[in-house]
Structures are given as C-alpha cells and as structure tokens.
Structure 1
Amino acid sequence: MTTISQAPAPVVAPGRLFIDGEWRDAADGGTRPTVSPVDGSETAPIAHGTPADVDAAVRAARQAFDSGPWSRMGGHERARVLLAVADLIERDAEEIAYRETVDMGKPIMFARQEVPFVAMAYRYFAGLATQLSGATRPTATPTFTYTLREPVGVVGAITPFNFPLVLATTKLAPALAAGNTVVHKPSEATPLSALKIAELFAEAGLPAGVLNVITGPGAELGQALSAHPAVDKISFTGSTAVGREIIRTAAESLKKVTMELGGKSPNIVFADAYLDQAVQQAFFGIFYNKGEICTAGSRLLVQRPVYEEVVGKLVEQAAATLPGNPLDPQTLFGPLAHRAQFEKVTEYTRIGRAEGAALLTGGEAYRPEGLEGGLYFRPTVFGDVDSAMRIAQEEIFGPVLSVIPFDTEEDAIALANGTQYGLAAGVHTSDVKRAHRVARALKAGTCWINTYNLFDPAVPFGGYKASGFGREFGPEALESYTQTKSVWTDLS
C-alpha cells in the first residue's frame, strides 16, 4: 500500500471474536481477510463467525444482563465506564482514525474529525445515564403510584460499512447507558474499529458479557441474531430491503426494533438562495464520504432561474475533485468502501445514461498512480433528471448526484416528497418564512436550512416512511432502550 508520511501506520493485529470478555477464534476456526479499498491489499485476517458464535455471544449477554452487575448498577457507575471509554478513544485517536481509513476508504482528515465526535457522544450518554428517572402519578384511588425506567435486556446491534465507528456509537452508547447488554454485529467489510472499541471497553472496566462483538457474514449472522429468542431488541442501520427482512424475523418473537434505513434525500435550492454557499453545501451534501452516507443529498432540486448557474459551478467543482489516497491528509475524496458497492455505483451510472439523463461529469472509475488496485470512482453529476428515473428514486449510496429543475415552491415540495424515503432534506433560501414553511412540509426526519449534514449527540436523528423508525441521539434515543414499569401501592 502506498504510504503517506503524515499518516499513522500502526500494525493491525488479526481480529478475533469478543465474547464474554474474552477474545476467541470462530467456532470452526474460520477467518477471512478484511480488504482495504485503498489499494486492494489485505489488512488483517478477521474471525469469520458462525451462528454458533452468535448463540455463544447472546448467551453471554443474557447471563450478564440477568445476573451480572451492569443492569443493576446505578447510572453514575455506568457513566464512569462510558466516560473512561471516551478518554481512551481520545488517547488512541490516531489508531482509530487509521483503522477507519484503511478499512472503508474514508479520508483520514474526516476520520480524525469523527473520533472526537464519538468521544463526545459517549460523554453525552454518560450524562443521560444519570438522569433515567420515573415519576409519581396521581390517581383517582387512594394509592401511591410511580413509574420506573428499566433497560429492555439484550440488544442486537447491526451496523453497516459506511460509518463503522459513528454508527456503532449511535447504538452502543445509549444501549449501555440504559443498562442493557449488547451483541454487536459490524459489517463484514469494515470490522476494524468495532474490535478496537471492544478492546477499549474491556480496558475501561466493562463487566464481562456486557458487550460482545461478532464478525463475519452479514446475512447469516444478522439472521441468527434477529431470530435468537434470548435477544430482546434489534437496532439496525442499513438498507430498507434488509431492514424489512430483519423486521419480519424479529416479529416472530415480538422483539423491539429500531430501524435507521435508506434515503434519497432532496436538497432544494431556491433562486433567492446564497448561491455560492448553496453550491458548497450541495457538493459536500452528496460527495462527503464519497456519497456513502444515508443522508446524502443525492437529489438536488434547483429552481429554474438559477439552474444553469448552480449546475455550472457544481460541475466545475466536481470535475476538479479527483479521488486520491485517503491516507493523505489533503485528500477529500477516497475510494468506495468495497467491491460490491463499486459495481453498484458503476451500474447506476449506466442506468442513468440509458434513462436519458445528461451525464455532466464523472461516471467512470479513476486509477490514481500507484493505487491501481483501489476502488476509486469520480464524482458524478447527472443533469436534467426526471423525478421518475431510477437514479432519482433509488438509493445508489455513492457519489452520484441527480439534478432536477423545478418552478414553484409547491413543485419543490412535491418533488422532494415524491419518493418512498424520508430520512433527511435540505432547504437553501434567504427567505426565512419560506425556509420554515418548506421545512414543515417536507416528510423527513431531519431538515437542514442553509446547511447540510450537521449532527450532534444531543439532537435526535431518524427517518420517516421507508427510511425507518425510532430515533438515535438525543434523549429520545433512550426511549428505544428502556421500558416503563408502573408500580401501585394501596394506601386505603
């Protein structure tokens, strides 16, 4: 692999399963390499777990919840462990960022920014762990009545390849803060940061069995986890199609589920917007993390009077942005995360051409010198897209932007809401009344005004429609990881 002198280059040890506080080989001894999209090299062999390993992990989590100390600890004690993990994450920030970069191609400059964000999230939920409280309720009878907030039990957390560190945190932090035990199944393509975080939790003093990590084939292990009768809740981030299958499986045992699913987010630019700012937000809205982000502003809706100007500036910037080695701190645009995703993006660019959309830039692979084995794809912009086209309706999950012209505010709202998804949206305008009027009309769980892709652990995040249900981050997240008990005492 080509190295960059400014970037850390730690040795990544072979990955094993983390079950009941111990590092173990898979039940059958199987391993598979994790392959870096940077140059196609093998980073490290990783344990290839089996359903038997899932069962062992779930049993450990069940035992830890039913008889271990974690679920019975006070909130301040759990907070102490979460705060210690946050400190350890900051201590090992360079190694964690390096793992994210070589595992999924995220530019190191962004990986380094995500690490302190993750530490902040653990600290935020450490604070909330001390605030889980019930309430006394007046009744019509002579009773003393109160409520308790209790953890749901064993949580199966299934996370995707695109933000391995951040998306694991959105599940582990609130689940553990509430007193649950967890079996984490990271993406087979990007397991490295999940294994590192398990190591840090062990160092921070988390009791054995409270957090377990199973690496291996997603479909097989995800099915085993979702079907396991000792799992009380599944928290999943991924595609809508896979989410539906998990819901069906989990329904057999009436598990609680949280679903953060796909998106085809509209980013609306009105003619009165601050255009230079809007173009920058549109660029990073779709091309941040190579478009491998569920909130990607993959549909850019531009009002006709400024359509040519906005598209011209955007195409110029996209054409000048060449993919490069993500270990270089100057790189903004790295390789796609894995081979299947690269082939999917390639196929959708073919579909866009076949549908009659105007390919304005990109649409092809790119081979940086010395990194010919990497999965690099140029930023791609299609113009004059019809909203009925597949590239405007289906989640591509890559650096492919569909630009759609519109005339009126009503047209923009109809186009924006005209897909099965409802995860996020953006509105760019200098008219404050219009901004909030449109934000209210958009069927999306998050709406950014004159900005895009801002996140904070204190602000809830989740989708409408086929983009899922339940919320991550904010105090709302704890609602998904707790259940309420009512206690009545007769005073008559």
Structure 2
Amino acid sequence: MSITEARPHLRTVRPGQLFIDGAWADAAEGRTIPNLNPADGTVTTQVAAADPADMQRAVRSARRAFDEGPWPRMSAHERGRVLLRAAELIERDAQEIAFLETIDMGKPISVSSGIDLPFVTQAYRYFGGLAAHLDGATRSTGTPTFAYTLHEPVGVVGAITPFNFPLILSTSKLAPALAAGNTVVHKPAEPTPLTALKMAALLAEAGLPEGVLNVVTGPGPELGQTLVDDPGVDKIAFTGSTAVGQSIIRAAAATLKKVTMELGGKSANILFADADLDRAVDDAFWAAFFNTGQYCMAGTRLLVQRSVLAEVTERLVAQAEAVTPADPLLDTTWFGPIAHQAQYDKVVEYVGIGQAEGARLATGGTAFHNPDQPDGLYWRPTIFTDATPDMRISQEEIFGPVLTVLPFDTEQEAVALANSTKYGLAAGVHTRDAKRAHRVAGALAAGTCWVNTYSQFDPRMPMGGYKHSGYGREFGPESMHNYTQVKSVWMDLRE
C-alpha cells in the first residue's frame, strides 16, 4: 500500500512561496517553476522562482534581524527552547514532512520516515541543548589583567544545500547556525525545495522571530551567486559539488566571507579477505546504493582483496539483480528513482564512459521500466569490474547507483588505492583484525571512517572532508565553531 492510499489527505501539495521577513510572498516578478515528482514525472505543485532582487530582499531581512532583532541577544537557553519546540513540531508533522521529501526527491518513504525524520528531530534536540554550552575560557596571561574569551555569532549565514538529502543537509546548517544566534538565508536546491519551505513554517511556529530564517527558492546558479556576492552576508555554508564549492570560495574572497564546504566524494570501502563476508558484502552493497547512490559519502569504490574478489563480486551482483526499483511511496520500497533529469543523464553518461574505458559491466547499466510509472527516472543498480584505478569511473564522482570494484593484494596497496583520488570525505574498512582496522583507519585520508559497518550517523558526531572534499565540520560540537567567532577580552586589574 502506498502512503497516499493510507493517508489521502497528503495527495495535495500547496504552491510554494518565498519566506522572507517572517511572511510568505510570491517572487517579485511572479515567476514560478514546476516541482516534479521523479517517480512519475508529474507536477506536484508550482514553486516561486526568485530573482536576484528577491534574494537581496531576503539578505536585508536577515541583516536587519541580526543587527536589530532579538534573536542574537536572547539567552542561549531561550534560543535552545525554540529549537526544542521545533523538534516537537517535526514529530507532530512527521508524516507530511516524509511525504514531501519523498515526492520531491524520490527517496523511499521508508527512508524518509524511518531514517531521515528521526535523525532531524534528534539533531534539533541536540543543538537546542548545545546552545547553552558555548562557553568561553579564562586565560592566565602573566599580566595584571583578567583575560577571557567569548564565542559570538558570525552574523548572517547563507546556507546553500543540495538535492540528495534536502531535510538532513538543511538541518546540518540551520540547527547549529540558529543555536549560535545567527540569522540565515537558505537557498535549497532548485529541484527539491518542499521540506525547506515546510521547515520555515515550523520554525516560525516554534517561535523564531521575523527575519531570522529566510527561504528563497528558484534557479540555483543565479541565486547562489547573488547570495555569495552580497556584502550583507557574513558566512556561506555550502554542500554540493567540488567545482561549485571552489567557485564559491573564489567569489567569497572578495568580501572575506567565512566559508564551510562539504563537497564531493569518491569514497573507498576496503574489504579484506578475513572480513565477515556476509556482513561486509551487505554493508558494501548499501554503502554504494543507499539513496540510489545519490550520496556524497557513498562507498562507490569497493576495494576487495584478490583472494575473495570472485566470491564478493558474485554476491554483489546477485544482490543487485534482486533489487526492483519501485514507487517510493510504497512502504515496501527501498530503491527508488534518481532525483531529477540532469542527474539521471549524468548516470547514463558515466555508464557509457565506464564501458568505453574498458571496464566490464557485471550487472545493470540500463534503465528500469516501471509499467506503473513509465515516466519515472528509474535506473538499475550497476556494478563495474575489471576496472583500473585511473579510469574516470574510479576517480570521478558519479552520484548515482554505480559501483566500481577494484582488486588489491596487500594492506599497503589497499591504503594507497584508497588515497589515490583527490577526494577525502569518507572510507570504510572491513576486517576481523582489530590492529589492522586501527592501522588502516589511521592511514586513510578521509574525514569519516567506518569499520565493519557503513553509513552510521549521529548528530553528536562530526562529518566533513579532507582534500577536495572540503573543510569545516557539520554536526557534533565541532560544527558550532563554524557559526561563531572568538572575541578576546582583557580587563586591567591594576590599582
């Protein structure tokens, strides 16, 4: 049964407006863009298509709210209470939020409701509690002074988020930024704005003052550039591709904005011959194909010790061929469509590149025709073998359900292969040898390393990249440092 059959009130999605200065409004020019459901190609609703003037208006609202409004001047306990109330409202409206996430992005409803919503609720509770723990420190200076530090909010934060985890990745920025006392202009991805708009409504209901959060929907490059260039913005928090991140960094230098970047990945998942193969193969499969592979930390390079390569590959192929992509609103679906047409086209392109490079297509590599949703963006789980480390499918982020399997012989070779890309977002290690696990985890150039598991997350644990995967951390207490600046205060104690 689909969620809309069980809960028919969810079938209608209201048109999306801009949320600026605590009020809903159409775009200044009245333009809209259709919001498409990737499962069947239908238009779910129309969403406001802002232009640079709308973005500038949102920045002025956030600037005024920071410079003159109550939010940065509230006690940390008061700010925390608003975020805790937001968590309660997310739980209250969980079915609606999960539905919006699923029809917007194609994420299975079982994932939206069973994984994403509980995580987001927990994150708002975590940062609601953490708000009161932004403590400074006293320092002994050897001088007749009383010296201490203060953590103060950065100011106006421009949050730019991608399409693959719309709700979680907006939370990764909004929750710590608000907890620290900042104001925010949020630019969600053009194809997936629905939960961002819903969260604006819930945070306003929770007690967020006018202008503290502004949400501007519409064409990404134009609006993102306006946000980055605006001198009224103090910081940019971005999740997305490395190429776009680099362009933001260059542009932000003109106004010396602070930036944090959570960028691309080509994560290596290392499977040693002594691993528990039943568990390791299952972990490797979902490391690559969770969220239809649209996952910056996906383990899309599986490094397998040569003595078990044939067995592991055979098991993975069997598991992939048992998957049937299906309507993400069905409670039984775990593998849905690709989020939008441009991403689908990119997957098609890279499957062609892999074949042209000489890798062997072990399974998949074709679209999946769902007779109930013939216009859906469905693609079969795809596995390449007989690849080499220098191939583009081994080096470049595809961001779709495509796994490349590479062999290795020794531990040293595995580490070298794992570190042989420009990325360093995540990695995995599967082995029964605890000493090897610690040794290899320490040698991997990656911001997150999972051992005998994959894709474990908690709001208390930071995530972020090395190398071209970016800098700064999201979640955990470390993320609060991205949204504060430190002031040193010296007080003379002489008579």
User: Residues 246-265 of structure 1: matches in 2 within 5 Å?
Assistant: 246-265=248-267
Select which of 356, 366, 369 maps to 2:368: 366
The range that moved more, 466-475 or 6-15, is 6-15
Q: CA deviation at 1:4?
A: 5.6
Paired AA for residue 53 in structure 1: D
Deviations 1:389-418 (A, max 9, x none): 000000000000000000000010000000
Task: Name the residue aligned to 1:72.
Answer: 73
Query: Secondary structure of 2:275's partner?
Result: coil
**Contact 2:4/2:11 (<8 A) preserved:** no
User: What is the Cα deviation at residue 491 of structure 1?
Assistant: 1.2
Post-superposition Cα deviations, 1:118-176, rounded to whole Å, max 9, x if no partner, equal 01000000111011111111112101111111000000000000000000000000000
Distance apart, 1:321 and its partner CA = 0.4
- In structure 2, what is the Cα distance between the partners aligned to 1:160 and 1:331? 23
Query: What is the CA–CA distance in structure 2 between the aligned matches of 1:352 and 1:296, rounded to whole Å?
Result: 18
User: Contact 2:109/2:330 (CA < 8 Å) preserved in 1?
Assistant: yes
Q: Given residue 227 of structure 2, which amino acid in structure 1 is its aligned partner?
A: L
Alpha-carbon distance between aligned partners in 2 of 1:43 and 1:382, rounded to the nearest angstrom: 35
8 A Cα contact 1:54 1:225, kept in partner: yes
Cα distance in structure 1, aligned partners of 2:342 and 2:173: 26
2:323 alignment partner in structure 1: 321
Report the RMSD for the aligned CA atoms in angstroms: 0.9
1:3 Cα deviation (Å)? 7.3
One-letter identity of the residue aligned with 1:264: K
Residue 5 (structure 1) aligns with: 5
Q: Secondary structure at the match of 1:46?
A: strand
Aligned partners of 2:3 and 2:188: how far apart in 1? 27
Find the aligned partners of 2:348 and 2:374 in 1 and give their Cα distance: 17
Structure-1 residue corresponding to 2:278: 276
3-state SS in 2 of match to 1:130:
helix
- State the AA in 2 paired with 1:217: P
Report deviation, 1:6. 4.0
2:301 is the alignment partner of 1:299: yes
Q: Structure 2 residue aligned with 1:137, among 136, 139, 147?
A: 139
- Among 434, 437, 441, the residue aligned to 2:436: 434
* Moved segments of 4+, more than 2 Å: 2-10
> Equivalent residue of 2:139, what SS?
coil
Q: Deviations over 1:198-222 (max 9, x none)?
A: 0001111110000000000000000
1:117-132, aligned counterparts within 5 Å? 117-132=119-134
Give, in whole Å, the separation in 1 of the partners of 2:146 and 2:409: 61
Q: C-alpha separation between the residues in 1 aligned to 2:207 and 2:340?
A: 34
Does 1:474 find its partner at 2:484? no
Q: Does the aligned pair in 2 maintain the 1:6–1:329 contact within 8 Å? A: no
Q: Cα offset for 1:293?
A: 0.5
Shift of 1:5: 2.7
Provide the residue aligned with 2:87 in structure 1: 86
The Cα offsets for residues 332-377 of structure 1, whole Å up to 9 and x where unpaired, read as 1000000000000001000010011010110011111120011000
Match of 1:401 in 2: 403
Q: Secondary structure at the match of 2:5?
A: coil
2: distance between equivalents of 1:202 and 1:129? 18
1:240 & 1:487 partners in 2: Cα distance? 38
**Amino acid of the residue matched to residue 240 of structure 1?**
T
| 1:107 alignment partner in structure 2 | 108
TM-score by length of 2: 0.98
Q: Which one of 410, 413, 423 corresponds to residue 411 of structure 1?
A: 413
Residues paired across the two proteins, number: 491
Alignment of 1:238 with 2:240, yes or no, is: yes
Output the CA distance in 1 between the equivalents of 2:363 and 2:331.
25
Residue 218 of structure 2 corresponds to which residue in structure 1? 216
Task: Decide whether the 8 Å contact of 1:6 with 1:328 is kept in 2.
Answer: no
Identify the residue that residue 358 of structure 2 maps to in structure 1: 356
Shift of 1:447: 0.1
Quick one: percent identity of the two aligned structures? 66
